[in-house]
Amino acid sequence: MTEHNQEPIGLIAGGGQFPLLFTEAARARGRRVVAIGHVNETMAALQEKADSLLWVKLGQLGKIIKHFHREGVRETVFAGTITKTRIFRDIFPDLKGLALWNKIDIRQDDAILRAVAAALEDEGIGVLPST
């Protein structure tokens, strides 16, 4: 196993089974999984599967970045779904999230995800395909 694979992998988890399946697969490959769970979206079962789990509300980007830096995460994936109506209704942005939200011209979910991915990359956290 290479030293690179010893690094923790971040998981920004939405709802459904996919975050659980991703976590199991990553841990089977020797990766420590540092998960971010979204309140009212992510399944509570992720708590038992991930090595660590921080619960956030939609828009708390600064909290995610700080947690990943503290845990040594340099790569992350997005897995699972976020209910589209919640993206616009149940958002509780912190300062970083609000700054990003104000930069997004087109408030469609794919544009939001691309903007979040770019913000993570700017912080030295690469976004990988979840496969």
* Run means of pLDDT, 10 residues per run, the chain, 131 residues: 68 96 96 95 96 93 96 96 65 70 63 86 93 75
- In the structure encoding, which two tokens stand for residue 116, read together? 């979040």
- In this prediction the pTM is 0.84
| pLDDT for res 3 | 44
**DSSP-assigned beta bridge partners for residue 33:** 9
Which pLDDT score, from 0 to 100, does residue 5 have? 56
The predicted pLDDT at position 58 comes to 85
Per-residue confidence (pLDDT) for residue 85, from 0 to 100: 61
